[in-house]
Structure 1
Amino acid sequence: MQRSVLTLLVLTIACNGGGTSSGTDSDPGSSTGTSTGVGTGSTTGDEPTTATTSPTGTSGTTTTTTTTDGPTTESGPTSTTAATTGPDTTGSTTTDGTTGEPDGEVHDPDQDGPWQFDELAGEIDVDGEMIGVTAHYPTSGPEAGPYPVVTIAHGFNLPPTQYTGYATRLASHGYVVLNVDHAGYIFGTVDHVANAKQVLAALDWAGEHPVLGDISDLNNVGTTGHSLGGKISVLAAMYDARVKASLTLDPVDGANMCPNMQACPDASAMLPIAIPLGFLGETLDTAGFMACAPAAENFTTFYAEANAPALQVTVNGANHMSFLDDVASCGITCSFCQQPTLANAVVNDLARAYVVAYFGRWLRDAPGYDTYLTGAEAQQRYVDTGLVTIAEK
């Protein structure tokens, strides 16, 4: 069946990692923002608690206007809501034998963690491009902040809300998570370098934010992202020494519609870099007419150039879009990829667990998470059941 020219254009861009931005290569550190905060907890991260469940808290919806050096004003109604909907965490384990030590404590990454968390949103001006950021951050839990920070970069022509499940899982395990709405949509100037700087600008925004500043460890950052967002996350790790580890979801190293290689460099060719790198991916969408994740640009090309320690996890039966929270609501952008044989929910569970375990291992310096990455738990849950194939170096 023949497709229209517009449909072919959408397919070419959506599946092969094109991105849009009007940003330039100037320093992303200077910004102003307008934030809207939505609270879901009645305690703060400065007061640790031994609670092992997620109790109901008091929520306040506020509108906050900030600048990097100005005052803050707030107003708005309040209501009552649950802080999280996570399961009981009384089964949390310390598989590395360091019970009670913050750097050694291990919680099952396939479950929500023991931290309560809040959500707030803001907007940053990055070289004239207004970039949205949604932050999920701990308010109480087994330890007080500052907490490691993780950025999330969405795939091309995909909304950041498709990755909220990753953000809330990470926040429940004690991370400040910045889900960044970088300029990666169908119209505009394609500039992956500018996209990476937009993601990094969120770190500076968080550091100056009246709520996030004191609880964010900006010298202990991880980056994650899907598709184009995976490439952007690897570039961000190259550009900023605050990034200490990166785990990406079916990254695509494409350069479709790019004006030049300076704007859209071959990220895998720029490897290795001196931090741990992990890559989850699939092989259903690597070949065929306008493949969504071409073999010459897919996650294996990143892994091949990475130095140890590096991790590659092939999710058998997933397609390129299986890593989204809800493929059913994705629309036309998801319609061109191969049909997966693995349920969306199965891939969600696996990918979220890997993201938590990876950053637990490298940002929290907890070797006990190795069991969920490559060790006994990973073998039992994923390898023995045929869900994944693991390579490491």
Structure 2
Amino acid sequence: MRTSTERRGLRRLFTAGLVATLAAGAAALAAPAPAGAAYSTVAAYATTVSGDAADVYHPVTGSPHDPWPVVLLLQGANVDKSQYAGYARKVASYGFVVVVPNHYQLLFGQPGLYATGAQAGWTVTWAQAENARAGSPLLGALDPGTLLLLGHSFGGAAGLGLTTGLCTPPFCAVPTPAPPQLKAAAFYGTNNTNPATGTTPPVANTVPVALIQAGADGIGSPANGYATYQALGSPPKLWVSLHGANHYGITDTQNPAGARPDLNPQTLSQSVSIETTGRWAAFWLRAQLGDPVGRAWVSGAGDLLDANVTTQFAS
């Protein structure tokens, strides 16, 4: 554990390094937001994506900017989209348009909110139309050629399957290819371990994947999460262990109504767990779009500066 004095020293060194990195890499910066700071204002509006009610979060700026990449957030089982407002706003503040749909379906004989990997292709189609729709708050401001994924629990598992290039049952009704626009993903409370056998099969991911795991998760165990990180086949990949958070450290409230409760208490404040998870997810996605500050953060600098996490990165 570093002292506060040591951390302040590291922070000064890292800040100086950021300035140098930005000066050297600004021409190569692919993502549009200021690399080291978030937009202060994020707006939201309601839409539909392939018939699913959805909330859209986007930065507000009066200055010209490049089109924003589109991020789809796949919800946890029976967790309403409204529960991801804080997390989606945090990610959006780093220069993304975050789309959070409610997808209802009958699964295992039970009706409910269950994400499907098919939503990725639907979101690309929505972005193409929304970018050209007269009256859209995002008219001409979207990059429909870039899709990024976030996911929580069941939604993370659906997204994890999609990173292999193909979504299969139960996360898609029929095998569905990932859209070619998919570039990277970050999932919370997600693993690929078979609950019946305790084995974790290889994940032949074709895009970079970050797994953010709550250290006190009582539903998706940290051991299974780390085994899934090890099973990822293609780096770059990132493991983030968030100390003191449980399975619902990503949602606006603990144990959302209708969802399976996590009986493990969360010792980290809800606001801090949401902010930390959103920051790490955003920097990871930015890194995969060529942001040098995002790359520096996820490859080691963030671990030095953020006392709430322990990370492992493979490039």
- TM-score interval, normalised by the smaller of the two chains: 0.7 to 0.9
Cα distance in structure 2, aligned partners of 1:117 and 1:343? 22
* Residue of structure 2 equivalent to 1:375: 300
Residue 345 (structure 1) shift: 1.9
Taking only the aligned residue pairs, the percentage that are identical comes to 20
* Greater Rg by CA: 1
- Is residue 321 of structure 1 aligned with residue 260 of structure 2? no
Q: Tell me: CA distance 1:139–1:97, structure 2 relative to 1, closer, same or farther (3 Å).
A: closer
Contact 1:156/1:184 (8 A) holds in 2: no
Matches within 5 A, 1:148-227: 148-183=69-104, 188=110, 195-209=116-130, 210=133, 211=136, 212=138, 214-227=140-153
Q: Which letter does structure 2 place at the counterpart of 1:214? A: G
Contact 2:68/2:96 (8 A) holds in 1: yes
Q: Tell me: CA distance 1:325–1:371, structure 2 relative to 1, closer, same or farther (3 Å).
A: farther
2:239 counterpart SS class? strand
* Residue of structure 1 equivalent to 2:238: 311
* Residue of structure 2 equivalent to 1:103: 29
* Residue of structure 2 equivalent to 1:340: 266
* Residue of structure 2 equivalent to 1:132: 53
Cα distance in structure 2, aligned partners of 1:333 and 1:121? 23
* Residue of structure 1 equivalent to 2:15: none
Cα distance in structure 2, aligned partners of 1:252 and 1:189? 23
Cα distance in structure 2, aligned partners of 1:185 and 1:156? 12
Residue 132 (structure 1) shift: 1.7
* Residue of structure 1 equivalent to 2:211: 279
Q: Tell me: CA distance 1:275–1:95, structure 2 relative to 1, closer, same or farther (3 Å).
A: farther
The gaps in structure 1 that reach 5 residues or longer are 1-92, 257-267, 286-290
For normalisation by structure 1, the TM-score amounts to: 0.60
Residue 158 (structure 1) shift: 0.6
Matches within 5 A, 1:20-59: none
Query: Which of 227, 241, 253 is 2:180 aligned to?
Result: 241
1:195 counterpart SS class? coil
Residue 94 (structure 1) shift: 4.4
Q: Map Cα deviations across residues 335-355 of structure 1 (whole Å, 9 max, x no partner).
A: 443112222222112101101
1:327 counterpart SS class? coil
Q: Which letter does structure 1 place at the counterpart of 2:277? A: A
Q: Map Cα deviations across residues 1-56 of structure 1 (whole Å, 9 max, x no partner).
A: xxxxxxxxxxxxxxxxxxxxxxxxxxxxxxxxxxxxxxxxxxxxxxxxxxxxxxxx
Q: List 4+ stretches of structure 1 deviating above 4 A.
A: 99-102, 184-187, 189-192
Cα distance in structure 2, aligned partners of 1:204 and 1:247? 21
Q: Tell me: CA distance 1:107–1:295, structure 2 relative to 1, closer, same or farther (3 Å).
A: closer
Cα distance in structure 1, aligned partners of 2:62 and 2:69? 14
Q: Tell me: CA distance 1:331–1:183, structure 2 relative to 1, closer, same or farther (3 Å).
A: closer
Residue 142 (structure 1) shift: 5.1
Residue 278 (structure 1) shift: 0.5
Residue 108 (structure 1) shift: 3.6
Provide the aligned C-alpha RMSD in A: 3.2
Contact 1:147/1:217 (8 A) holds in 2: yes
Contact 1:151/1:222 (8 A) holds in 2: yes
Residue 252 (structure 1) shift: 4.0
Q: Map Cα deviations across residues 46-88 of structure 1 (whole Å, 9 max, x no partner).
A: xxxxxxxxxxxxxxxxxxxxxxxxxxxxxxxxxxxxxxxxxxx
2:212 counterpart SS class? strand
Residue 369 (structure 1) shift: 1.7
* Residue of structure 1 equivalent to 2:158: 232
Q: Map Cα deviations across residues 202-223 of structure 1 (whole Å, 9 max, x no partner).
A: 2211211212463221222210
- Is residue 292 of structure 1 aligned with residue 226 of structure 2? no
Cα distance in structure 2, aligned partners of 1:134 and 1:353? 20
Contact 1:207/1:214 (8 A) holds in 2: no
Cα distance in structure 2, aligned partners of 1:94 and 1:185? 51
The alignment covers a number of residue pairs equal to 271
Contact 1:223/1:234 (8 A) holds in 2: no
Contact 2:69/2:143 (8 A) holds in 1: yes
Q: Tell me: CA distance 1:377–1:277, structure 2 relative to 1, closer, same or farther (3 Å).
A: closer
Contact 2:55/2:101 (8 A) holds in 1: yes
